[in-house]
Amino acid sequence: MQRPIDPTAVALRGFGPLGILAMAVIFAGQLLAPLSAVLVLIWAKRSRTPWREIGYVRPRSWLGGLAMGVTLGIALKFLMKAVVMPLLGADSINQTYHYLVGNEYAAIATVPYMIVTGGFGEETFFRGYLFERFGKLVGDSARSKALTVALTTIFFSSLHYFDQGLAGAQQATMTGLVFGSIFAFTGRIWTLMCAHAAFDLTAVAIIYWGLESSVAHLVFR
């Protein structure tokens, strides 16, 4: 039997007053990450948005997706730190998180924060939710997906500027393009969650062990 039409669900998925209000509330949730991701899941449930439309697709292999994501995240972080950021003229030391050097308790406390905020929170919001919303506005053609990758990356990097400065925004631009392109191609978020968390945790490890300068000068001495 076909489910009856739910006017509230239809309105939440649209871009009328209720839909825009829902978007505003979810966007405001970014002020207290990962609240926005939780709100996205509530919105998806109440609006009857299929989970696959925000990337929540059961992976072919949970362990395979985890391994692939962790490998991607670690490799991407070293590539950024050793090649990309030096080419952009960034300082080898991340001043925002420099307090983590040798600070065991702070580093350990940061681990769950990075996993929940970066892996779960930012991927659910920036890739899952924003791709669904922009997809409804601009379509799902190759050109439209490229535009969505660009727009979500700009938003992603701009938010990183406020707490990490220009270098943080530059790095977020590169990672946003990589993660966004992968999501545009696969439509799956599990591996990206693992990659994002691995990227952030690798950054924490490099800082904690005082390896930033060494890694930053691996290629360009």
Per-residue confidence (pLDDT) for residue 5, from 0 to 100: 82
Which residues are within 8 A (CB) of 129 and not within 5 positions of it... i.e. 6 or more apart? Answer: 26, 36, 37, 40, 43, 54
Tokens of 201: 């945790």
Per-residue confidence (pLDDT) for residue 162, from 0 to 100: 87
Q: Which of 106, 104, 119 is nearest to 189 (CA)?
A: 119
Kindly state the DSSP code that residue 89 receives in the 8-state scheme.
T
Is the model's pTM score more than 0.75? yes
How many Å apart are CA 124 and CA 24, to the nearest integer? Answer: 16
109-147, pLDDT tens digit by residue? 999 999 999 999 999 999 999 999 999 999 989 999 999
221 residues of the chain, pLDDT tens digit each: 556 788 999 999 999 999 999 999 999 998 887 899 999 999 999 999 999 999 999 999 999 999 999 999 999 999 999 999 999 999 999 989 999 999 999 999 999 999 999 999 999 999 999 999 999 999 989 999 999 999 999 999 999 998 889 999 999 999 999 999 999 999 999 999 999 999 999 999 999 999 999 999 999 87
Are 81 and 214 spatial neighbours (Cβ–Cβ below 8 Å)? no
Tokens of 144: 């439209």
Which residue reads 């005082």 in tokens? 210
Per-residue confidence (pLDDT) for residue 107, from 0 to 100: 92
36-48, pLDDT tens digit by residue? 999 999 999 999 9
